[in-house]
A and B are shown apart, each in its own frame.
Chain A
Amino acid sequence: MADERAGGTSGGWRAEGRRVLAVAWKDLLSEGRARANLLSVILFAGTALLLFAFAFGPDAQDLRDAGAGVIWLTILLSGILIFNRSYQVELEGGALEALLTYPGSRRAIFLGKLLANLVLVLVVESVVLPLAAVLFHVPLLEALPGVAGIVLAGTFGFVALGTFYAAISSRSRARDVLLPLLLFPMLVPLLLAAVQGTTAYLEGDAMGYGGGWLRLILAFDVIFFTAAYWAFDHVIGE
């Protein structure tokens, strides 16, 4: 045993893939068991949409104009709650240190958490988008392929950066305040592109701007994901 362990390696891509899936499965299972957490995020998102609808209403055109911005603002605020929670699970029983002493690249932890957070944010979005369509009179069904592309691409970049910054803020006592402070400024370009792209598709994209915004968001995705992936090892280490 000792020799095998002493000479052992942490495995190749397949082993890394197993670690990524193990972290994602564990996070999703924990969230699934503690249903109250996800439900409270969904409830928060619904309440935020409702309040925004009252604030911008009752004129249907005003509501439509504000729709894309409100959708992304709601996704942003709900996502913050999810990202903070994803590291809270590790801190509760001192599990983070055990997690960091497992063999293999610590980037597998990042990828696993990214995957789990992506699923959770998409679950929230699956409630936010139809609700926003009703409350803000936005033609979601007609614009669905374009809006879905913008939402998926925007969500990936948002979750990649959120998962990364949540790791940085997780060991701080003021993590609930620190995460938005770190994350919001970095997200501004992505959010602007996402809001503009969503607006373009919701308005029928007569000028064909939607594709351009989508490409810009994908470029942000690549930059955010690459930077977070390579830097994660350093921020989670100590």
Chain B
Amino acid sequence: MTGDSSFPPPLKLEGIAHRFGRRWILRGLDLQLDPGQVVAMIGANGAGKTTLLRIAATLLRPLRGRGWVGGASLLENSDRVRTMIGILGHSPALYEDLTPVENLRFCLQMQGDPGDRGRILAILDEVGLTDFAHVRVRRFSTGMRRRVAVGRVLASLPHLLLMDEPYASLDPEGVELVNGTIQRVVDEGGGVLLATHDLRSGAGLTDRVVTLDRGLLREGDGRQPAHGRTDSSPTRADSSSPTTRGQLA
């Protein structure tokens, strides 16, 4: 699944550096996601995970460094980059006074799709919200809002999916739904960059774990030496190991 070199990588970052005020948050980090690869990024609060995701999403221009999404430059071709990315952040990014149907239709229309009703209802069925299709989002629980947000990702199936704490406030069924979405993106040859503190929920899908520490990325979950793949990182390759799961639990 991973490492197909015939397609440009879903995400490639080189020497990315950014600061807020006088404090450098990112200090020239490199990262590459291969097609079909899921990379989990961990790090302490304030380490810069969200900043890195925002840079990859073209929401923030790095002060130094370059990056590409599916071969398109983040700096010079951001419009094309935005046709390839999807975001599932910690806030659901929904319009409270609109229903899920209206929220998804807006999302599709903004992507140049007419927003066919049948397609929208099929997506809502997938995220388990058929019965609430015409209820305003304002009346939803946090978990239900996140389901609508997952539906928004399913509506576009991006080439690069950027996720910021996607498992927060989700029940086991919701976690399964998020993982199903990740799997869909991966199956289509896309890449997923997942910023999370909850490595267990995505354990079966993660190919690599990287730690963002003092502005730089290191392979592994930070409990091992800085170089080389870690044996205890919960990845797709070794998540079936009860020992690994036990260590993480």
A residues near B, CB below 8 A?
1-3, 5-6, 8-11, 15, 18-19, 21-23, 25-26, 29-30, 33-34, 89, 92-95, 97-105, 237-238
Bound-state CA distance A6–B190 (Å) is 10
Of listed A6, A9, A103, residue having the most chain B CB within 10 A: A6
B residues near A, CB below 8 A?
7-8, 35, 54, 57-61, 70-72, 79-80, 82-85, 87, 89, 91-98, 102, 106-107, 109-112, 114, 136-137, 145, 152, 156-159, 188-190
Known pairs A6-B8, A29-B97; A93 contacts B83 (CB<8 A):
no
Extra inter-chain contacts (18) besides given A97-B57, A97-B89, A101-B85, CB under 8 Å: A2-B35, A2-B190, A5-B156, A5-B157, A6-B8, A6-B159, A10-B79, A10-B82, A18-B112, A30-B95, A34-B97, A89-B95, A95-B95, A97-B87, A98-B89, A101-B57, A101-B59, A103-B79
Instruction: Give the secondary structure class of B's interface.
Output: loop
Q: How far is the CB of B242 from chain A (nearest CB, A)?
A: 34
A97 touches B93 (CB 8 A): yes
Q: How far is the CB of B44 from chain A (nearest CB, A)?
A: 22
A9 touches B80 (CB 8 A): yes
8 Å CB contact of B159 from A5, A21, A237: A5
B188 touches A102 (CB 8 A): no
A-B contacts counted at CB < 8 A amount to 124
Report A-chain residues with C-beta under 8 Å of the C-beta of B190: 1-2
B95 touches A6 (CB 8 A): no
8 Å CB contact of B87 from A9, A11, A101: A101
Instruction: Give the secondary structure class of A's interface.
Output: helix
B84 touches A104 (CB 8 A): no
